[in-house]
Amino acid sequence: MNLKQALILVLVMAMVIPAFAETDIGFKGIGGRLGYVDPDGPDGTILFGVVADLGTWMPQLHWDASAAYWSSGEEGPGWDASWSDLALRTTVKYHFIEGPWEPYAGGGIGIHMLSFSYDYNGPGYPGDYDDSESDFALVILGGIEHQFNPNWKGSADLQFDFGDAEQTSIQVNVIYMLGK
């Protein structure tokens, strides 16, 4: 290793080590999610789920994971159809300012476990059809977070899932912070 390479290595380490020193990753909180989803296909419906606070990569870069479920259906003379989705997501959110109200924007990835069921009981050819599939999605979101007290925080956001399982949702999260 020559002197130039050693200097570059020292400079890179000087920039990287403080970033890792600010990292606070781990299971920090758990809570519930309630919202309204407008999926590509069926009519909009209520969603519910859980969300976990997984800490921060640095003070303004927050990480979370969530699971959400929704179900919708339609029926007519002699038939009914239903759709459902169990979505698992992980997102990273950049908080623009620190304080009691923190606006953020972020993104991540998710997997949607979709199912569809159709039952026909009318004249002709009665029968049913069931199908399920799993699809990956890119997630983009924005919202605002509020720390109610040291143990509780809440957030509201608008989220877009892009992929085969496209959907838009407005959701509210309430999280209990562990170890505070």
Q: Which of 6-10, 36-40, 78-82 has the lowest mean pLDDT?
A: 6-10
| Average pLDDT over every residue of 54-78 | 90
What was the pLDDT predicted at 16? Answer: 52
Query: What residues contact 34, with CB distance under 8 A and at least 6 apart?
Result: 46, 47, 48, 171, 172
Residue 137: pLDDT band (50, 70, 90) is very high
The residue ranking higher by pLDDT, 78 or 21, is 78
The residue ranking higher by pLDDT, 142 or 22, is 142
The residue ranking higher by pLDDT, 148 or 6, is 148
Q: What is the DSSP string of 5-31?
A: HHHHHHHHHHHHHHHHHT-EEEEEEEE
What was the pLDDT predicted at 68? Answer: 96
What was the pLDDT predicted at 86? Answer: 95
From CA 76, how far away is CA 94, in angstroms rounded? 46
Q: How many residues would you count in the chain?
A: 180
pLDDT at 179 over 60: yes
The domains of the chain, with CATH numbers, are 25-177 (2.40.160.20)
User: How is residue 52 written in tokens?
Assistant: 């976990």
The residue ranking higher by pLDDT, 47 or 164, is 47
Q: Are 162 and 122 in contact (CB under 8 A)?
A: no
Q: What is the DSSP string of 28-47?
A: EEEEEEEEEEEESSSPPEEE
Residue 168: pLDDT band (50, 70, 90) is very high
pLDDT at 19 over 60: no
